[in-house]
Structure 1
């Protein structure tokens, strides 16, 4: 442990520096982290890094999923739930099936069950890589919502495929009836346990005398509870974390105060950034061990690289085909919800770019590492080959798709803001104007006849009308502070209602809510 501690500190330092470099170069930071880990792994004096898959699943996956669920637009998920569901389940299964057929035909020693195992491992795109790339390009809200929603659910579907494929590999047969019952329980049980625990945690935050530090500490451990308890009942821990976190995210204004929300956002951003960086760095560090196991089984490095590139090509092709199939199905059966395009050229190429976003990462690595060395007394000789193919898929998709996606989006200009979406500045102005009118009317209706402390009331109205911060806050007595905080609550209620009843982007509304939280914190400091 003491030998690894300096490496751990150096790794975090490198992650921070590489993220700065990636921002300067305008590339996704996971790309540089994987390459840096790969380069560092060839330093002979470094200790060998051996990754325990349980560490990836239990330590890293729950908070990463939880943060993604808290960040996603729940309204956009409901709007695009059909295509999100198809990409998260149908497309993952189609991708795994495609990989299984190709692997069974072209890779020596791969049965169909072993091919499904490999397909389930490499089928889910990585949300972190896609999100890092999307920071540098402008895409329609519909596209980003589909990608974010898919990333929340496809991990669960792929891990379910991996679990059933492992059973088939170990037993040499596959019982469809038992698999169907187990599949249904993993879905229903995972979602049910997640919602139940999410509700329980909400009540705990409401009823316990928590403050900001304890609220934040609870939010950090809650996804681990959801994942672990669901796994104990042999359901999907991933779905439990996603379902519970979505429920808590949608109710955040009801059980977290402004201090907890403001401070918690900064804590979670830093925490998730470090977790992501460590995982992608470790992916590169683990390559020498994977190559050593590959050579021990008599597979040449050249052949293994060829198999990895073949599987990568199948993944990209399957996702592009699925994107076009989803577009055609939407235009036929639900044309009213199809994203509008400026031209037929834009409509034709949008699925191509959507299909090009399938970078692989954390979940694929953890799933590959979870394959045991021995099952039912039989050694699995293809384990190291699957690990190497997974590494090639992660590296090649990050390099090829990750580096070319921003270029394609910018050069083709196919993801210009579509006609169906209102420009962001217009929507923001509409929201602020409505908010101003709502609060001003509330003030007039409730406090217009209040004669005492008239000067303070005039100051409040003038503050709201002109948004001018007074240099002297002596007029802000306890009564006026109560009124101001009440106005902030009125604003939150208005924005919640606006979020449910309008088409305004939920990210804009959340940004305004964050500004309101900051204003409340400023008032409490006076």
Structure 2
């Protein structure tokens, strides 16, 4: 323990330093982390990083999925649910099928079940990688929402494929009737359990005398409870965390106060950053050990690299083909919901861009490491080291090749911002703030008209909202005006909640303004 602890602390420090360096270089930090982990792994004397396969899903996936469910725009998910659903389920299955057919044909003794196992592992793109890459280039919010929604749901679909493939590899047979019933229970049961557990935690937050610290502590354990309970009942723990996270996210203004929301945002941002950073470092650190496993099995490194390149090309091609198939199907069957492109060229480019955003990452690594060393009968798991090697190389190649070229492609397609006819963020913010100002001013005039006249504090209060300026000191803020101020903050939250129902308004802008209101309320508490 004393030997591994400094190494773990050094990993966290390396994650922070590499992220700062990546920001300066304007590249995605997962790329630097993977490369750095690979280089560091060749330093002699370092301890070997090993994670229990039975714990890898439970340690990393629940909080990563829970945080993603809290940050995604549910309104955008509903708006583009057809595209998100097709990419999250149909494209994942098509990708897994393509990998299964190719690998079972070209890799000796590689069965179709092993091909589906590998396909389930490498089929889901990684939202963290895409988000880190698009941080430095501007893309339409709708495309970002499609990518986020896809990554949130495709984890569940790919892991379901992974689970059934594991059963087929372990038992040697596959019963479609049982698989269909199991699939339905995993999907319906997982979503239902997540909603039920999420509702229980919402009630706990509302009824228990919690403060900001205890609220944040509860949110840290909630995804683990959702995942564990669903897995114990043989349902999908991933869907449980996603559905429970979406349920609680939509009600955050109800059961969390402003202090809990502010502290929770900071804690979760740091927590997820560390988790993601450690995982991407592990990707690089683990590759040399996998290579030694290949040598033990008698598989030449050049042969394994060739298989990895074959799978990587299959993944990229399958995603691009699926993107164009989805666009064509939408134009034929539902042209009314197809994205409005500014030109035929832009309509052609958008599926290519979506197809090129298939960087693999955390979920693929977790699934690969979760493969047991031996089968139930005690025999060695077939081709485990080869599957791990292919997964590691696929992650590395998609991160480096697609990750480094994606910003270039986006910049070359600068007109892509016109694909979706939406007003600029600046114009949306201006209208929103003007609406807030008018709404609050009318509320004050209607409710406190009699108290406004002749009261210096109330007149300053009205002037504050009429001119959107702040007084040089807070001496005018007595208990009466403080109560009204808190009431006005709540009125603004209600206004923003109603405004968010407008499909033209970006939900991220609404959330940023809500966060500003939380900061104002906390500032008010210390006056």
TM-score (norm 1): 0.98
Any idea what SS the aligned residue of 1:286 has?
Answer: helix
Residues 262, 514 of structure 1: 8 Å contact kept? yes
- Cα distance in 2 for partners of 1:480, 1:147 equals 45
- Higher mean C-alpha displacement, 82-91 vs 371-380: 371-380
Deviations 1:486-511 (A, max 9, x none): 00000000000111135210011111
Any idea what SS the aligned residue of 1:379 has?
Answer: coil
- Cα distance in 1 for partners of 2:192, 2:122 equals 27
Match of 1:124 in 2: 124
Deviations 1:429-480 (A, max 9, x none): 1111111111111111100022687222111110111222212212111010
Match of 1:520 in 2: 521
Match of 1:287 in 2: 287
- Map 1:8-47 → 2, pairs under 5 A: 8-47=8-47
Deviations 1:153-177 (A, max 9, x none): 1111111101101111111111000
- Cα distance in 1 for partners of 2:503, 2:51 equals 47
Residues 452, 458 of structure 2: 8 Å contact kept? no
> Does structure 1 residue 315 correspond to structure 2 residue 315?
yes
- Cα distance in 2 for partners of 1:451, 1:320 equals 63
- Higher mean C-alpha displacement, 407-416 vs 195-204: 407-416
- Map 1:81-480 → 2, pairs under 5 A: 81-377=81-377, 378-450=379-451, 454-480=455-481
The 4+ residue runs of structure 1 with deviation greater than 4 A are none
Residues 142, 420 of structure 2: 8 Å contact kept? no
Shift of 1:262: 1.0
- Cα distance in 1 for partners of 2:250, 2:75 equals 10
Any idea what SS the aligned residue of 1:234 has?
Answer: coil
- Cα distance in 1 for partners of 2:158, 2:97 equals 11
Match of 2:48 in 1: 48
- Map 1:57-76 → 2, pairs under 5 A: 57-76=57-76
- Cα distance in 1 for partners of 2:122, 2:327 equals 23
Any idea what SS the aligned residue of 2:259 has?
Answer: helix
Residues 453, 459 of structure 2: 8 Å contact kept? no
- Give 5+ residue unaligned stretches, structure 1: none
Any idea what SS the aligned residue of 2:473 has?
Answer: coil
Deviations 1:48-76 (A, max 9, x none): 11122333211111111111111100100
- Cα distance in 1 for partners of 2:251, 2:501 equals 13
Any idea what SS the aligned residue of 2:417 has?
Answer: coil
TM-score (norm 2): 0.98
Residues 75, 503 of structure 2: 8 Å contact kept? no
- Cα distance in 2 for partners of 1:263, 1:318 equals 42
Residues 114, 165 of structure 1: 8 Å contact kept? yes
RMSD across aligned positions (CA): 1.2
- Cα distance in 2 for partners of 1:414, 1:309 equals 32
Shift of 1:428: 1.1
- Cα distance in 2 for partners of 1:475, 1:218 equals 38
- Cα distance in 2 for partners of 1:451, 1:188 equals 56
Residues 227, 238 of structure 1: 8 Å contact kept? yes
- Cα distance in 1 for partners of 2:313, 2:20 equals 31
Residues 324, 352 of structure 1: 8 Å contact kept? yes
